[in-house]
Amino acid sequence: ILRGSEARPHLKPYMASLQLDGQHVCGGFLIAPQWVLSAAHCIEETDGKLFQVLLGAHSLTEPEPHKRLYQVRAQFPHPGSNIHNNKDDLLLLQLEEKAELNSDVRVLPFQREDRDVAADTVCEVAGWGTTDHSGSRPDRLQQVERPVISRDVCNHRTRHDGTITHEMMCTDSRRKDTCKGDSGGPLVCGGVAEGVVTAGSRVCGNYKKPAIYTRIAPYAAWIDGVMASADG
Ligand SMILES: CC(C)CC(=O)Nc1cccc(-c2cccc(CN)c2)c1
């Protein structure tokens, strides 16, 4: 998160850190006791290894009362996701067991009505992604508020030039923005997860390249189907 601020500890109890060998790679969030939603492009550099999922954390390193690292039973990237574009950039992770829910570990509801969030709506996004252009990585969860911009503005020739589909949404990226390592985290508007951070142009803090999110509502049926089939 560029030019944000430290989140109030444990006030975003749905936040997950997807880790490999103890290193934060991407964000994610708890959508059900045994399921975390993130971004498919996060598995691009894992060469087949499974993530571990840290829940109940504010600091990535300090001991905290309800902090716990969960093993992942299975990872389900959306079948339409690919490395060439941002389409269908969603990843479902089934935890080895149901997470123990408490004051620091909680499920976040996601939007199921497929209707665009109005432009200028101020939403918030959090993550342990890089906080400056030299790639500094924070120990504690950061957050930032960002206004939604319309698909038409985001698709302007000088911005994302028509690549933003109905299944994506954008927020203004002038100065304050998401960045490397924030992928997979939720864009929360009015207490509901409306989008999942995607890397997009992999540029941060440049107003010409607004932040892109995968809208969740269009994928509600896919999410429910995977959870139902895997839970048995
Ligand atoms: C395996 C993955 C972690 C590789 C990756 O994602 N790299 C990378 C590099 C630079 C910027 C970003 C990035 C992320 C989230 C939002 C944005 C745009 N604001 C950029 C992402």
Distance in angstroms (rounded) separating the CA atoms of residues 65 and 79: 37
Of all residues in the chain, the percent with pLDDT exceeding 70 is 100
Count CB-CB contacts under 10 A for residue 75.
18
Mean pLDDT of 49-66: 98
Pocket test for ligand 1, best of 204, 209, 212 (most atoms within 8 A of CB): 204
Mean pLDDT of 194-207: 97
Distance 181 CA to ligand 1 centre (A): 6
Predicted confidence (pLDDT) at residue 176 exceeds the cutoff of 70? yes
Predicted confidence (pLDDT) at residue 126 exceeds the cutoff of 70? yes
Predicted confidence (pLDDT) at residue 232 exceeds the cutoff of 90? no
Query: What's the ipTM?
Result: 0.91
Predicted confidence (pLDDT) at residue 198 exceeds the cutoff of 80? yes
Q: Which residues 6+ apart lie within 8 Å of 141 measured at CB?
A: 6, 7, 9, 12, 15, 57, 58, 126, 127, 128
Are the C-beta atoms of 11 and 48 separated by less than 8 Å?
Answer: no
Predicted confidence (pLDDT) at residue 108 exceeds the cutoff of 90? yes
pLDDT at 91: 98
Distance 222 CA to ligand 1 centre (A): 24
